[in-house]
Amino acid sequence: MLTIASWNINSVRKRLGQLERLAEETEADVICLQETKAKVEAFPAAEIAAMGYPHQAVAGFGGYNGVAILSKLPLSEIDRYPHCGRDDARHISATVEGISVHSLYVPAGGELPDIERNPKFAHKLKFVEAVAEHFAGRHGYRDSLVVAGDFNVAPLPSDVWDHVKLSRIVTHTPIEIAALERMKRSLQFIDTLREVVPAGDPVFTWWSYRAADWQAANKGRRLDHIWVTQPLKARIAGVEVLTDIRHWTPPSDHVPVILKLRASESALPL
């Protein structure tokens, strides 16, 4: 079994203790982080190695952005990708046991869903298109990929607390959903959570800090995803959203998603 966790940690240094707790409680083999908010030289590599993750791929960008892949297992073919001409630490990959693992942090896009009046929203859409082109250009349908991260898009009606209201709000607008669907089609990716949870069942991974009681209001969105390519579909053993971690203090506004993959048949003993 290979266990992969993905979490928008919202500052790795601020929540280092929570990262250690996550590692202990999930026994994840690989942890993909987003929004680490630390330059490479300030990333707590030694502390994380002491948690059992000596193999690390890190892309940092100062006080915001930042992605990382932490692994108990050796990493190879580490690469970071500056989409749209911006080397702002939003996409990094590494190979683990023959699987190309990607930690991805899609731009939020601001508050106004208008490409003419909001440059951040226009950039978000261009970024998603660039990632789709990246996958289609560098990989084939037979490649084994895991793409994990904060995609900042909730694609299904059940991925938001109110589909009608949120369809006019950034993260759930039709134009964003269409862009994410094109990215999904680039390699025929599978949304692993929806392989095990029916598409109509509400699932959220993000709750605003603005809610006094986030759990009672439950105005959440599913912004965090783990996708796999077709060759890994048969290996999906389970997917879980760790909602209770939203209670940990100080909280991230996101919670982790956990994917468990069965061992490949080629790796099983004869």
CB atoms within 10 A of CB 141: 11
Scan for tokens 């997917």, then name that residue.
239
Q: Give the angle subtended at the CA of 159 by the CAs of 178 and 150, to the nearest 5°.
A: 70
Q: Residue 124, by phi and psi: left (phi above 0), alpha (psi -120 to 50) or beta?
A: alpha
- DSSP-derived letter for residue 20 is H
Nearest-angstrom CA–CA distance, 30 and 122 = 32
Report whether pLDDT(54) > 50: yes
**pLDDT at residue 1 in the model:** 95
* Higher-confidence position of 145 and 270: 145
Q: Give this prediction's pTM.
A: 0.96
pLDDT band at 270 (very low <50, low <70, confident <90, very high): very low
Q: Please name the amino acid found at residue 262.
A: R
Domains of the chain by start residue, with CATH: 2-267 (3.60.10.10)
Q: What is the mean pLDDT of residues 98-103?
A: 98
